[in-house]
Amino acid sequence: MFGRATPGRAPVDATGPAVSVRGLTKTFGAFTAVDDLTFDVARGEVFGFLGPNGSGKTTTIRMLTGTLLPTAGTIDVLGTDVAKAAASIQRRIGYLSQRFSLFEDMTVDENLRFYGGVYGLDAATFAERRAYVLEMAGLTGREGELTANLSTGWKQRLALGTATIHSPELLFLDEPTSGVDPVARRRFWDLLYDLAGRGVTLFVTTHYMDEATNCSRLALMYRGRIVADGTPREVRMSAATASMPDPTLEDAFVALIGGSSPPQ
């Protein structure tokens, strides 16, 4: 378990879910990467999106963020139809990919200034957000350091800072701790809990079961379909059997994936 496990406790906005997906499908020729997904993500929660490599998680996130058009289905993000207003939605969300979107030949401060400019922050707002990000990431005093010289853990914190420089309402994180050591992962999740406590909705993909247990709700994806969803306990108990009455989340992951039929 990581840090102070209090995700999902921010007040839920009564105007509706942060993400609402209905019948979402994406095909590439004869291959169906995402197959008829329907789910909601409540505002203020930490939503874990699990699944093995190739299950369709990243393709789904690309559609949710408006960078990839779906073949079928509807996507509502923060009360807006993504198909009709992708550009406006992208100003209200943040996205941290598996590969940090940092310029390694630029300093910490130059990266922050670049992303502040991308999101059109005025001078006063940028100064306020820059101070917050540097303190949040523990990079105060290292503003002039070349990004290439930072360790993976510090790059991860800086990448989170650039993804949140514009105070997004919803943050997508696609396997953000892949390849990061356990201490850095713990510190990173403490930062995520802080964001959740401030009311930011988090949509996180991860391969680490200890991280998944700290999400308020989970969806398990396999071969383009959601095969289980609910709280971590509900997902665990959905795989319970007489011989395994109290499975771990990892046990459930293996059992549910092994027992799922491939799409027809």
Sorted by where each starts, the structural domains of the chain and their CATH numbers stand as 19-224 (3.40.50.300)
Against a cut of 0.85, is the pTM above it?
yes
Predicted pLDDT of residue 182: 84
What letter does residue 13 receive in the DSSP assignment? Answer: P
Q: Tell me whether strands 46-50 and 201-205 are parallel, antiparallel or unpaired.
A: parallel
Predicted pLDDT of residue 15: 67
Angle, alpha carbons 107-109-113 (nearest 5°): 115
Number of alpha carbons in the 13 Å side-chain half-sphere of residue 177? 22
- Digit-by-digit pLDDT tens for the chain (264 residues) are 444 333 333 343 446 899 999 999 999 999 999 999 999 999 999 999 999 889 999 999 999 999 999 999 999 999 999 999 988 898 899 999 877 789 999 999 999 999 999 999 999 999 999 999 999 889 999 999 999 999 988 998 999 999 999 999 999 999 888 777 888 888 889 999 999 999 999 999 988 888 899 899 999 999 999 999 999 999 999 999 999 999 999 999 999 987 654 443
